[in-house]
Amino acid sequence: MHELGIVYEVINIVDRFVQENQLIKVDKIVLEVGQLSQAIPRFLEECYPAAVSETAYEDTKLEIIVLPANAKCKTCNEVYNIIEHRKICPECRGDDYELISGQEFNIKEIVAC
Ligand SMILES: [Zn+2]
């Protein structure tokens, strides 16, 4: 499970942000994770408590916003979720698509108080 490493990396980035902005306490970290990202949200959530245990982020909440793996059909322009539809356009049954979202991994927000 490489999610623990990803969580540590996120904490490091947050840590730098906290120092640069001289923040006292981080209330919440919001991540944006695409459905096709290498990180699995459920595993991130499972790793998180261990990663922040006995650190300054022990009380910091983790929120994960999952972005859908959406693609646009190159044949009929239908936008559809390629995981739900197994990469086949529900409108025209074509499989030629352009990915619009789903590969993101961003720290969307650091909520500090
Ligand atoms: Zn189509």
> Residue 1: its pLDDT value, please?
64
Q: What is the pLDDT of residue 44?
A: 96
The rounded Å distance from CA 79 to ligand 1 centre is 8
**Low-confidence residues of the chain: pLDDT under 50:** none
Distance 69 CA to ligand 1 centre (A): 16
Q: How far is the CA of 85 from the centre of ligand 1 (A)?
A: 11
Q: In this predicted structure, what is the pLDDT of residue 113?
A: 76
Contact 26, 60 (CB under 8 A): yes
> Looking at the DSSP assignment, which residues form a beta bridge with residue 33?
66, 105
Phi, psi of 8 (to 5 degrees): -60, -40
